[in-house]
Structure formats: C-alpha cells, structure tokens
Amino acid sequence: MAESSTTTQAEGSDSSVTTAEITIPPQLKFFMSNVKTMVTVQLTSENHLIWKSQLLKLFTANSFEDHLTGVSVQPEKLILNNNGIRVLNPLYITWMLIDQHLASAIYSIVSPSLLPYILNLNSTHEIWVTLDRRLQSSNRSRLLQLKGELHQLHLGDKTMFQYLSDIKNKVDAIATAGSSIDVEDTIHYTLNGLLATYMSFKTAIRTQLNPISLDDFYSLLCSEELHLNADSSRESITTATSDSSFALTATRGSFRGRTRGRTRGSFPGRAAPGRNSTGRSYPSTVVLGSNRGGR
C-alpha cells in the first residue's frame, strides 16, 4: 500500500511538472485560429470531396497531415523513469495536445447531421477515416442521382439563361461529388432538352465537324433564342393583322347585304309603286292619278 501511494505521488508530481513544460506549437495556434477561414464549407453528404481536399491541404501546409493519415501514432502514455517508476510520457502529452486540438477543429467544420457519427471517436485519424468511409457510399448514390437529373432537364417554359444555369449547376455538383462530365456530353444533354423549334439549330451543331467550346455553344444558343423570339413576334403581328382585315371585310359584306335586302324588298301593308293590290302593273301616271282621286 505504501509503495503504491509513493508511485502515485511520483506520477502526480512528474506529470504536473511535465504538463507545465508543454507549450502549444505556433503552427497549431495558427491552424486553430484560421481553420474556419481556410475551409470555406461545412462538411455535408454532398460536398465531401471538396471539403476533404481543402482540409487536407490545410493540414499539410501546417505539417499536421500525419495526424490525418495515421502516420503519426499515439505514443505510450506511461514510461519508466530512471528510478524505475512509471510516469507520464512527455511525447504522449504533446501528441495528445496537438491531436485533440485538431479533432476539435474538424468538429467545427462538420455539419450537425454528421457530428453524431464522430463524437465518440478518440483521435483525428479515426475521425478522418470514419467520415471518408461513411460518405463514400452516399457519394456514389449522389452521383447517380445528379446524372439522372441532368439527363432529365428540359427547357420547357424557362428562359435560355435559366435553362443553361440549371445545366451548369448540375455539372458543377457532379464535379463536386468527384466525377466530371465531358464537354461533348454536356452539349449532348443540353441539346436533348431543347424544344422542337430549335431543330435546325440542333442539326447544325450535331453535324459540325470541328469541336465547339461550351462558351461558344452557350453564346450561339442564346443568339438562337433571340432570333426565334423575334420571328415569333413578327408572325404574331402578321397573324393579328390578317385576322383584323378578315373581320373588317366580313363586317362590310354583312352590312351591304342587309342594306340591299331592305331596299329591294316590300314593306308590309303597302303595295309597291306602279302596282295595285292584285299585282297588275299600271303606268306611274295612272297610279298617281288614282292616288289623288282617292284623296
């Protein structure tokens, strides 16, 4: 019992002295104060690759990449001193100081939905490996989903700028997820989503022998939209003018027909000039004379 108490006191005294001698490295201070500035996005299931790339570069720039990759192994916690007494290892204290600061830095740039998977882990390397393993499977599903959405994009009633923005957002999301879309494939997906009014444009692009860049393709597509809109406006004006002329002609014809019918027809209760009630014709003088005699 006495021996164990002596050992504990020795361990306590040595550990207190060792801990007092440990200082935080300048690289670690810089890392902790700038980690959120250097890594501009929080880790989610959709941006794992870009987040991983940023964090790995930051760790490497500050000489802490070994804690991520597992090259830096945790030292033994207790060692024997010159008197044969087990005391805290100064290397262990320094390693733990650095590693736990790095782990807390990772916690600060991980989204709350992923934190439950790493809160109970002990080292930075374990956190790094767990996140990588956890998000790789979901990353593949995410890629398949994005490529399917890109294939199903259509112009519809959107403007060309909105349609091309949707295409670019999907392509960028696929690149963020760790894959890429060739320029020819992007042009192919874009052409498939156009309306039938762009058929001549689609034929011209597909039969072009020389490759075309995305910027030139987008510019041509926006110009084609302007020309189609202008043609549509002219056709609308022409159609409206033709309809108005036709309606005016029909109205005039109807008015003339009604006027002629009233002029030529007889009025009820009155005989036509030059005729008596039996329908026989008389000279106009006779008719006028009979009318006067009647009066």
Q: Which residues pair with residue 87 across a beta bridge?
A: 79
Give 78's contacts (C-beta < 8 A, 6+ positions apart): 11, 86, 87, 88, 89
Helix (H) or strand (E) holding 86: strand 86-88
Give the Cα-Cα-Cα angle 56, 62, 63 (nearest 5 degrees). 85
Burial class (CB in 10 A: 0-12, 13-18, 19+), 177: buried
pLDDT tens track, the chain, 295 positions: 334 333 333 344 444 444 446 678 888 988 998 898 888 888 988 888 889 888 999 999 999 999 999 999 999 999 988 888 999 999 999 999 999 999 999 999 999 999 999 999 999 999 999 998 888 777 777 788 888 899 999 999 999 999 999 999 999 888 877 788 899 999 999 999 999 999 999 999 999 888 899 999 999 999 999 988 887 777 776 665 665 555 555 555 555 555 555 555 544 444 445 555 444 444 444 444 444 444 2
Residue matched to tokens 């990588």: 132
Can you give the pLDDT at residue 178? Answer: 73
Statement: the pTM of the whole predicted model exceeds 0.75: no
What gap in Å lies between CA 82 and CA 46, rounded to an integer? 54
Q: Which residues pair with residue 78 across a beta bridge?
A: 88
What gap in Å lies between CA 242 and CA 203, rounded to an integer? 33
Name which of 81, 76, 99 is nearest 13 in CA terms.
81
